[in-house]
């Protein structure tokens, strides 16, 4: 099988060219053709000599993932369902706002971490995405948006996608190597040239990988906290049993020593009657007191059989006010793209119909029970 060049960051492409006796600067040329100009056909790469173009065409390919469905919400949010084979898919979401356009990227097919309120977690884990599938989401969204009439008047190098958040399906730090390579491509001036401050990785708190990311590729960090004490967090974010809150807070402090922003964003899903009381808010202030941070309250987005309800607007407001009165910046996430199931935690890669998923869930449960 030929090598897919979308799997490589600049360093890996440089090594590839060196291995076939070519000059290292070819890597930069190729990155620009692939990522900036969206060119897949080697024939069009006019500053590369013909014999090399022919060799690349013989031995390699530039193969982005395929889109199965593109949906556009009434509010302008767009969602692409990316085919990952075997009847599975992952989702990518573009959220346009006045001054910026944010792309939310998936990192795994499903997720093994089983947070109880998350539809991706309910699906279970299928597999890690490879680099071409991760960076391919940015590639595809960029190409698709550029072809759109709404953006037809843009200059060639104006950015439609100004921010990337690794907040789609999957736990990015559980697919560490591929995610970091994809981050390198996002940040590379020969590719997407995004600043570290405009790329945010969200994690449920894999402490050792947070420490590694701080050294390898520090980008802005969001942490899915969701509970103000270990007892509750053990229950709704089970990875907390491995990395409890005190360890997570210490990791956040260490991360900030190298981070491009001087705060961590704590995400907190608002679950009615579960984690949304005023007492919870006060406890939350206690546990974060040594970590410079902002809060992002996410009203729970329901999905079938979730067993949870969204906190009432009044409870969300009261919770927010307690944090704000303590001097914190708090945003309450607006739900976007609800009509196309593109809101947080609703991404489920619906290639399969729901009955099939339910069947799978039951089978998985039986499997787990029989293994126990």
Closest to ligand SF4 by CB, 84 or 120: 120
Q: Out of 7, 204, 240, 265, which residue is the one contacting ligand SAH (CB under 6 A)?
A: 204
Residues 6+ apart with CB under 8 A from 208: none
Residue 123 Cβ, how far from ligand SAH at the closest point, in Å? 12
Q: Smallest distance, Å, CB 53 to ligand SAH?
A: 40
Contact characters 149-188, ligand SF4, x per CB under 6 A:
---------------------xx-----------------
Between CA 165 and CA 248 the distance in angstroms is 20
Pairing label, strands 78-83, 89-96: antiparallel
Q: Which is closer to ligand SF4, CB of 126 or CB of 204?
A: 204
Size of the site for ligand SAH (CB under 6 A): 17
Q: Which stretch binds ligand SF4 (CB under 6 A): 116-124, 135-143, 287-295, 316-324?
A: 116-124
Q: Is 344 considered catalytic here?
A: yes
Out of 113, 140, 179, 323, the residue judged to bind ligand SF4 by CB under 6 A: 113
Q: How far is the CB of 319 from ligand SAH (least distance, A)?
A: 15
Number of C-beta neighbours around residue 369 at 10 A: 8
Question: What is the C-alpha separation between 129 and 360, in angstroms, rounded?
Answer: 21
> Is 44:58 a contact under the CB 8 Å cutoff?
no
Candidate residues 60, 77, 204, 311; the one interacting with ligand SF4 per rule CB under 6 A: 204
- How many whole angstroms separate alpha carbon 236 and alpha carbon 230? 10
Question: Among 48, 118, 223, 252, which residue interacts with ligand SF4 (rule: CB under 6 A)?
Answer: 118
Q: Which one, of 258, 262, 261, 263, lies nearest residue 296 by Cα? A: 263
Q: Choose the catalytic residue: 22, 43, 91, 97.
A: 91
The beta-carbon contacts of 43-52 under 8 Å, at least 24 apart in sequence, are 52/22, 52/26
Going by the DSSP 8-state scheme, the letter that residue 340 receives in this structure is G
Is residue 111 part of the contact set for ligand SF4 (CB under 6 A)? yes
Q: What is the Cα–Cα distance from 250 to 155, expressed in whole angstroms?
A: 45
Query: Which contacts qualify for 54-59: CB closer than 8 Å, 24 or more apart?
Result: 55/20, 56/5, 59/2, 59/3
221 binds ligand SF4 (CB under 6 A): no
CA angle 238, 241, 244 (to 5 degrees): 110
Binding mask 290-329 for ligand SAH (x = CB under 6 A): --------x-xx----------------------------
Residue number, 7 or 240, with CB nearest to ligand SAH: 240
Q: How far is CA 180 from CA 21, 101, 190, in A?
A: 27, 22, 17
> Would residue 91 show up in a list of annotated catalytic residues for this protein?
yes
Query: Could you tell me which stretch among 47-55, 79-87, 200-208, 213-221 binds ligand SAH (CB under 6 A)?
Result: 200-208
Site residues (vs ligand SAH, CB under 6 A): 115, 117-119, 167, 171, 202-204, 224, 267, 269, 298, 300-301, 344-345
């Amino acid at each position: 099988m030929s090598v897919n060049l979308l799997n490589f960051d600049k360093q890996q492409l440089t090594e590839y060219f060196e291995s076939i006796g070519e000059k290292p600067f070819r890597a930069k040329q190729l990155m620009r053709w692939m990522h900036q100009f969206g060119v897949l056909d080697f024939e069009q790469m006019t500053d590369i000599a013909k014999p090399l173009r022919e060799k690349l065409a013989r031995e390699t390919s530039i193969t982005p993932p395929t889109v199965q469905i593109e949906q556009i919400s009434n509010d302008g949010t767009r969602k692409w369902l990316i085919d990952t084979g075997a009847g599975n898919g992952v989702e990518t979401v573009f959220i346009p706002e006045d001054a910026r356009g944010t792309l939310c990227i998936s990192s795994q097919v499903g997720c093994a971490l089983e947070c109880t309120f998350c539809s991706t977690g309910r699906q279970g884990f299928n597999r890690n995405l490879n680099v071409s599938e991760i960076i391919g989401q940015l590639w595809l969204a960029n190409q698709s948006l550029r072809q759109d009439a709404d953006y037809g008047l843009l200059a060639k190098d104006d950015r439609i996608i100004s921010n990337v958040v690794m907040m789609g399906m999957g736990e990015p730090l559980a697919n560490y190597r591929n995610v970091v390579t994809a981050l390198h491509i996002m940040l590379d001036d020969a590719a997407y040239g995004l600043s570290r401050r405009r790329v945010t990785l969200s994690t449920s708190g894999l402490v050792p990988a947070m420490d590694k990311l701080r050294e390898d590729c520090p980008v802005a960090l969001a942490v899915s906290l969701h509970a103000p004490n270990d007892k509750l967090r053990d229950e709704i974010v089970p990875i907390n049993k491995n990395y409890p809150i005190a360890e997570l807070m210490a990791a956040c402090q260490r991360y900030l020593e190298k981070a491009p922003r001087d705060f961590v964003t704590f995400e907190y899903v608002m679950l009615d009657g579960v984690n949304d009381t005023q007492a919870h808010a006060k406890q939350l202030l206690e546990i974060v007191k040594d970590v410079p941070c902002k809060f992002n309250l996410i009203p729970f987005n329901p999905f079938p059989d979730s067993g949870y309800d969204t906190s009432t607007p009044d409870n969300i407001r009261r919770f927010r006010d307690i944090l704000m009165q303590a001097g914190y910046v708090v945003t309450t996430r607006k739900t976007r793209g609800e009509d196309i199931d593109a809101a947080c935690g609703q991404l489920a890669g619906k290639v399969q119909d729901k009955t099939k998923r339910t069947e799978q869930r039951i089978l998985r449960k039986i499997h787990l029970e029989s293994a126990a």
